Structure 1
Amino acid sequence: MIKTIIFDFGDVFINLDKHATEKELLKLGLPSITEDLEYINESYETGKITTIDFINYYQKLLPDVSEKKIIDAWNSILKDFPKHRLKFIQKLSENKTYLLILLSNTNELHIDWIKENVPFYNNFKSCFNFFYLSHEINLRKPNHDIFRFVLDNHQLNPVETLFIDDTFVNTNTAQELGINIWNNDPKKEDITNLFTIKSNLF
């Protein structure tokens, strides 16, 4: 029986366009997304570098581009947050049947954008017993240590835990640790159908 549900954020609650940031940066004149750049992005996502350092790095690559345009390109991945998903998690929270945890790879610029553009963000956040963002805990998916952090911190039994994420590499790692998974397809599935799609677990 499931006692704890761990949710991803992007393409589970808020819709994403995962190719948008790269497209917009290339439009601004970035030659390509290199391994070094991916390392910088991951460092920012785990809070190892500040927002100022992150923007400065991009401005060295794009010296004729304004800070605002770089930030807008970076945030272009973020789309709408359908209200029916908020209602779903609110109802789940009110029922108090499950321990609810959010576990998201994200960064300060993205969260700042969400706070500014999703008026019910605080209501959403308050639905969870624990709310973990990668840049705040200095860990990121799909590394095993982020899942062990959550399991150990809350003394969770993996067999009684469900992890929901749209990215296979993330759910694969969770599964390796014995956690139940739902690799949701955001194009075909919606978090609000959780108890129908994964009825075998409940």
Structure 2
Amino acid sequence: MIDTIIFDLGGVLIDWNPEYVFLEAFNGDKEKTTWFLQNICTGDWNENQDAGYPLAQATEDLVNKHPEYESYIRMFYGDWEKMLGGVIEGTVAILDKFIQSKNYKVVALTNWSNETFPIAQRRFEFLKWFDGIVVSGDENTRKPFKDIYDITLDRFNITPENALFIDDNLRNIEAAKALKINGIHFKNPEQLIDDLKSYNIHIS
């Protein structure tokens, strides 16, 4: 019996993509943008800041490593707000259904720097709807590490078998399932509505 829904934020409810900054920086060159994000300002590098590493220090570390890309590296957090593309409307509508039903505890578990998360809080009203939000940068750990799932379960008194976790990163879903938390690998709102039915949750 599912009584708790746990939402990821970026890629599920919020459209966040560094390409919004770097496609412009590289004059629309998709190949150059992809190379830069796979080799310089990588996902692994950014996730280290999601676990609480200071943005300024991370920037200097990378500039020292790749001085020829200094101006672009400084754009990553300097222009970070431009990476926020807006809400994923279909998923926010699903979230609203859960909130309005009052049948579920609804929380969020996000990999997000605690230095940039306040920007999202100011921009997105729906972040006030949750019963609580666990921000990795506040906890000095992140998904898919066990600690952050344990923090979420303990803080909100969640029974793992009764919880359903929605995340766009399969790695994070698999880590949750290892702790007996049910999971849906999010691809789009329509697929989410269909997958919810397997848990006898029907979103009209």
TM range (shorter): 0.7 to 0.9
8 A Cα contact 1:58 1:70, kept in partner: no
Distance 1:31 1:181, change over 3 A: closer
Q: Distance in 2 between matches of 1:39 and 1:197?
A: 29
Corresponding residue number in structure 1 for 2:29:
none
Q: Tell me, what secondary structure is at the counterpart of 1:79?
A: strand
The change in CA–CA distance for 1:30 and 1:161 in structure 2 (over 3 A counts) is closer
Q: State yes or no: 1:138 paired with 2:136.
A: no
TM-score by length of 1: 0.75
Q: SS of 1:11's equivalent?
A: coil
**Structure 2 unaligned runs (5+)?**
27-31
Q: Is this contact kept in 2: 1:151–1:157, CA < 8 A?
A: yes
In 1, the alpha carbon distance for the partners of 2:133 and 2:51 equals 15
2:37 and 2:47 map into 1 onto residues whose CA distance is: 19
Alpha-carbon distance between aligned partners in 1 of 2:191 and 2:18, rounded to the nearest angstrom:
17
> What's 1:69 paired with?
75
Contact 1:4 1:162 in 2 (8 A): yes
Aligned to 1:198: 196
Look up the match of 1:44.
49
Range with bigger deviation, 169-178 or 80-89: 80-89
Question: Could you report, residue by residue, the CA deviation over 1:71-102 in whole angstroms, capped at 9, with x for unpaired residues?
Answer: 35656653231344434323422322111110
2:15 is paired with a residue whose SS is coil
Counterpart mapping for 1:126-165 below 5 A: 126-165=128-167
1:89 matches 2:91:
no
Give the Cα separation in 1 of the matches to 2:18 and 2:37: 19
Query: What RMSD in Å do the two structures reach over aligned CA positions?
Result: 3.4
Q: Deviations over 1:80-128 (max 9, x none)?
A: 3134443432342232211111001112464355356x4xx1x211110
Contact 1:104-1:133 within 8 A present in 2 as well:
yes
Moved more, 68-77 or 127-136: 68-77
**Per-residue deviation at 1:181?**
0.8
Task: Give the number of aligned pairs.
Answer: 191
Instruction: Give yes or no for contact 1:7–1:165 (8 Å, CA) kept in 2.
Output: yes
Distance 1:81 1:38, change over 3 A: closer
